[in-house]
Amino acid sequence: MTLEKEQKKNNLQKVYEVIKTMASKPSGFIGLSILLFHVILAITSPLYVPYDYKAIDPSLMLQAPSSEYWFGTDSLGRDVFTRTILGGRTALTVTFFGSLIALLWGGALGIFCGLVGGKIDDVVMRIIDAFLSIPWILAMLLIVSLLGTTTLVLIPALGFFYGKGIVRVARAATHDVIAKDFIVSARARGHSNLSIIWNEILPNVRDAIMVEGAMRWSWMLLGFSSLSFLGFGVSPPTPDWGLMISNARGLMSFAYWAVLAPIFGLSSLIIGINLTADAFAKALGIDRSTKAPV
């Protein structure tokens, strides 16, 4: 009991230390602050939005930014500021749960493959390679166009497609660990496979998998907003940055504000997540810079 408590305390301390290391560098600090800002904004923004995000008013069409409408209005007379501060909510939720799913199935399958090796491993890796060679956008578009664009489709589909790269990373990390002495001795002590995975392998591959998951989060956000931009993501009138950019694009020669506000929102969130993921990798001592974004 006491041992378990101590373990928990150590874990918390480790988390605290990792965050401290991340924030000690300017890029990590900026990333964490942007991410925190966006998360807080996404949670609290419905409490203080100035206007209704779906109130259409033709008389207020394409108004330039003013003290009343800070970021102007769009082609349907909706307040751009309102829609911009609400625009990250769907993206953050979908991609957060999506990367969680990617992390779980990718990590589990990767560890399994690394552990069993042999024929099963070969076959699974062939299939993963094949999936990797289908451009994500084609596969996602196909799934979404046949199954619909609800979050219940988007989350597992994104989770599946961004998890296959994690399989490779988890497998490679498991391969590195599996030949080590402590695994051999755990086997010699007669531990079950499950116990070896949980107590010996997982703590050693966890960092690599988590860093990979954090990286996937930013790519998935990119993928999700690309889908929205192409008209295959969330459906209107839901405020979403990708969708807002695509709608306002046609009129941007005279209403640039309607396109710049969501661009700023989305870019800052993606940069924030990226910097955070980079700092996270560095704090855990993992060098990702020589890896391709697969």
State the binding string over 243-272 for other proteins (x if CB under 8 A, else -): --xx--x--xx--x--x---x--xx--xx-
**Candidate segments 44-52, 67-75, 166-174, 216-224, binder of other proteins by CB under 8 A:** 216-224
Which of residues 12 and 147 has its CB atom nearest to other proteins in the complex? 147
Q: How far is CA 200 from the centre of its chain?
A: 27
CB of 151 to other proteins, least distance (A): 18
CB of 132 to other proteins, least distance (A): 8
Name the DSSP class of 18. Answer: H
CB of 238 to other proteins, least distance (A): 18
Burial of residue 13, with CB atoms counted within 10 A of its CB: 0-12 exposed, 13-18 middle, 19 or more buried: exposed
Burial of residue 226, with CB atoms counted within 10 A of its CB: 0-12 exposed, 13-18 middle, 19 or more buried: middle
Q: Quote the tokens at residue 207.
A: 């960092």
Residues 229-248 that bind other proteins (CB under 8 A): 229-230, 232, 242, 245-246
State the binding string over 172-211 for other proteins (x if CB under 8 A, else -): ----------------------------------------
Q: How far is CA 243 from the centre of its chain?
A: 18
State the binding string over 132-151 for other proteins (x if CB under 8 A, else -): xxxxxxxx-xxx-xxx----
Q: Of 6, 17, 129, 176, which lies in the binding site for other proteins, with binding defined by CB under 8 A?
A: 129
Instruction: Residue 229: count other Cβ atoms within 10 Å of its Cβ.
Output: 19
Q: Quote the tokens at residue 182.
A: 């402590």
Q: How many angstroms separate the CA atoms of 10 and 7, rounded? A: 5
Which of residues 9 and 291 has its CB atom nearest to other proteins in the complex? 291
Q: Quote the tokens at residue 26.
A: 């300017």
Q: Please name which of 53, 95, 83 lies closest in space to residue 220, comparing C-alpha atoms.
A: 95
Strand, coil or helix: what is 112? helix
List interacting residues with other proteins (CB under 8 A): 126-127, 129-139, 141-143, 145-147, 218, 222-223, 225-226, 229-230, 232, 242, 245-246, 249, 252-253, 256, 259, 263, 266-267, 270-271, 274-275, 287, 289-294
